[in-house]
Amino acid sequence: MKPARSIAWAYRDAMWSGVIAGIDPDPANADLIRRWCVDYWNDLHPYSMGGSYVNFLGAQEGPERVRSTYRGHHDRLAAIKHDYDPDNFFHANQNIPPVAG
């Protein structure tokens, strides 16, 4: 196995990963289904490792969730981004803002 610092993926020691998706053909149930998904996630999260797989994150989850997903790799990745993308051209999705290292 490669050393942990050789890749950005921070949860190589995770045993499983899950996605919570609420689907109902009736739009009238959207708020109920969303609430169920959020409550389910909130109930499970204390038993998780705290982060996620970055491509599972939605754009609305914010910078702290992105930081927790990269764990200790975030600051190193921000420094690399500063070197290769100082203007943050590649900023969509789960952005890591460039920061001088």
pLDDT over threshold 70, residue 1: no
> What is the reported pLDDT for 6?
75
The pLDDT tens digits for 41-81 are 999 999 998 888 888 888 778 899 899 899 889 999 999 99
Global pTM reads 0.72
∠ Cα 1 15 93 (to 5°): 85
Q: Among 6, 31, 48, which residue terminates a domain?
A: 48
- Tell whether 63 and 97 lie within a shared domain: yes
In a domain, 10, yes or no: no
In a domain, 8, yes or no: no
pLDDT over threshold 70, residue 2: no
| Helix residue ranges per DSSP H, 1-101 | 30-44, 63-70, 74-84
Range of the domain at 79: 54-101
Tokens 């045993």 found at: 15
